C-alpha cells in the first residue's frame, strides 16, 4: 500500500526487539498504526543462516505496508540480503538500521557505528537502492554517535536514495537517558531535507505527541516504548481522545490475547500473563485480577476475567 505522508496523524510503530512481535504489531495496526516494521534482522545472520531469521519476517495479514529492517556494515552482504528479500512477497520496503546502540551491534560496525562513517552509511543505502525491488527504502537513525549532526545524516539519507528518515532524538552516547531527548535537532533535520522526517523518542501521551509534532514539524511520529503496556495510545492519537474508554481497552486486550493464541497456541496463555500484568496497572483491584489470572491455564476463563475486569 502506498504511504501518504500528507495524511494527518501518520503513525509508525517503532521496532522494539523482544516486544513488537507479530501479535503486538497486528493489534496496534488494527487500532491506529499506519506503518509497522519488523524487528531488526542482521544481514549477516540472514545471509548465512536465513532459516533462523525467516521467522522474524513473518507478518500479520493486516500489516500493509510492512517494512523489514536490516542491519549491517558490509556492502556485499547487504546486497545479498537485499537479493534474498527481493524473492519474498509482502514486503513493501527495506529500512537500514543506523541507530542501534547495543555494544554487540556497534562493535560489529553496524547500527549506530555507521554514524562514525557517513560515507560508508551512504554506500550501504545506495547498495539497497540499487538492488532492492521493493517500493520503499528508509533509514532509522540517532542524531549522531557522540556529537550531533542530524542535518548531515538526513542529507546523506536523502542523497543516497532513502524515501524517508526516522530520527530518534538522542545520540548513541545519550543511550536512553531521559534528560537527553532533543526534539530541536529533529526539527533541524526536517529543515535540511525534502524527504519526510519521522520524529521518534519518548512519545508517551497524546499531549506529548502534539508537542513533538509542533516542535519538530515532522511528517509523522514513531512510537515504541510508549506503546508497551499502552497499545491504545495509537487509537487515542488517531481519535484525539484525552482518555480511552475502558470498553475500547477491553476490546484491544482481548484482540491481543486472541492474536497471541493464534500465533503461539496454548503457550500464548503463559506469555500473555506479563502483558495482562502491565495492562491492569493503574486499575483498581489489579492485584487480585493478576492473582486470578496467574492461577488459570484455561483461555476461556482468562477471557472471562478480562471481560469482568475491564468492564
Ligand X SMILES: Cc1cc2nc3c(=O)[nH]c(=O)nc-3n(C[C@H](O)[C@H](O)[C@H](O)COP(=O)(O)O)c2cc1C
Q: Report the site for ligand X in 54-93 (rule: CB under 6 A).
A: 69
Tell me the window of 9-17, 189-197, 242-250, 275-283 that interacts with ligand X (CB under 6 A): 9-17
As measured in angstroms, the least distance from the Cβ of 305 to ligand X is: 28
Q: Binding of ligand X at residue 16 (CB under 6 A)?
A: yes
18 is a contact residue toward ligand X (CB under 6 A): yes
Contact call for residue 202 and ligand X (CB under 6 A): yes
Contact region with ligand X (CB under 6 A), list: 11-19, 147-155, 206-214, 273-281: 11-19
Please check whether residue 136 is in contact with residue 3, taking contact to mean a CB–CB distance below 8 angstroms: yes
- Give yes or no for residue 14 binding ligand X (CB under 6 A): yes
Least spacing, CB of residue 271 vs ligand X, in Å? 16
Instruction: List strand residue ranges (DSSP E) for 6-65, in order.
Output: 11-13, 36-37, 41-42
| Alpha carbons 154 and 242: distance in angstroms, whole number | 34
Q: Which of 3, 56, 67, 100 is catalytic?
A: 100
Which residue in this structure is represented by grid cell 503496556?
Answer: 229
Task: State yes or no: is 100 an active-site residue.
Answer: yes
Please answer whether residues 159 and 119 qualify as being in contact, where contact means their C-beta atoms are separated by less than 8 angstroms. Answer: no
The minimum distance between CB 270 and ligand X, in angstroms, equals 21
Choose, by CB under 6 A, the member of 203, 233, 252, 261 that binds ligand X. Answer: 203
180 DSSP 8-state letter:
G
Cis amide bond preceding 161, omega within 30: no
11: left (phi over 0), alpha (psi -120 to 50) or beta: beta
Q: What angle do CA 255, 259, 263 make, to 5 degrees?
A: 175
Q: How far apart are CA 83 and CA 65, in angstroms?
A: 20
As annotated, the active-site residues are: 100
- Interface residues with ligand X (CB under 6 A) are 14-19, 39-40, 69, 97, 99-100, 140, 168, 200-203, 223-226
Amino acid at each position: 500500500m502506498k504511504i501518504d505522508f500528507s495524511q494527518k496523524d501518520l503513525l509508525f510503530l517503532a521496532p522494539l526487539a523482544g516486544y513488537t512481535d507479530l501479535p503486538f504489531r497486528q493489534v496496534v495496526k488494527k487500532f491506529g498504526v499506519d506503518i509497522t516494521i519488523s524487528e531488526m534482522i542482521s544481514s549477516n545472520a540472514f545471509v548465512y543462516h536465513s532459516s533462523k531469521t525467516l521467522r522474524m519476517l513473518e507478518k500479520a495479514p493486516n500489516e500493509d505496508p510492512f517494512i523489514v529492517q536490516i542491519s549491517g556494515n558490509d556492502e556485499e552482504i547487504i546486497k545479498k540480503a537485499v537479493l534474498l528479500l527481493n524473492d519474498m512477497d509482502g514486503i513493501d520496503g527495506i529500512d537500514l538500521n543506523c541507530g542501534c546502540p547495543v555494544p554487540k551491534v556497534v562493535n560489529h560496525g553496524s547500527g549506530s557505528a555507521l554514524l562514525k562513517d557517513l560515507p560508508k552509511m551512504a554506500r550501504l543505502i545506495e547498495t539497497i537502492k540499487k538492488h532492492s525491488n521493493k517500493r520503499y527504502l528508509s533509514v532509522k537513525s540517532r542524531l549522531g554517535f557522540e556529537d550531533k549532526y542530524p542535518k548531515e545524516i538526513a542529507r546523506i539519507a536523502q542523497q543516497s536514495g532513502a524515501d524517508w528518515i526516522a530520527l530518534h532524538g538522542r545520540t548513541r552516547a545519550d543511550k536512553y537517558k531521559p534528560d537527553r531527548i532533543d526534539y530541536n535537532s529533529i526539527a533541524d533535520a526536517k529543515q535540511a531535507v525534502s524527504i519526510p522526517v519521522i520524529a521518534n523518542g519518548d512519545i508517551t501521551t497524546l499531549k506529548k505527541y502534539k508537542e513533538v509534532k509542533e516542535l519538530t514539524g515532522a511528517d509523522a511520529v514513531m512510537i515504541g516504548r510508549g506503546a508497551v503496556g499502552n497499545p491504545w495510545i495509537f487509537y487515542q492519537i488517531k481519535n484525539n481522545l484525552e482518555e480511552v474508554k475502558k470498553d475500547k481497552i477491553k476490546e484491544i486486550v482481548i484482540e491481543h490475547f486472541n492474536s497471541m493464541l493464534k500465533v503461539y497456541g496454548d503457550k500464548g496463555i503463559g506469555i500473555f500473563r506479563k502483558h495482562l500484568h502491565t495492562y491492569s496497572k493503574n486499575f483498581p483491584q489489579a492485584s487480585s485480577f493478576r492473582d486470578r489470572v496467574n492461577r488459570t491455564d484455561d483461555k476461556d476463563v482468562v477471557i472471562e476475567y478480562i471481560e469482568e475486569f475491564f468492564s
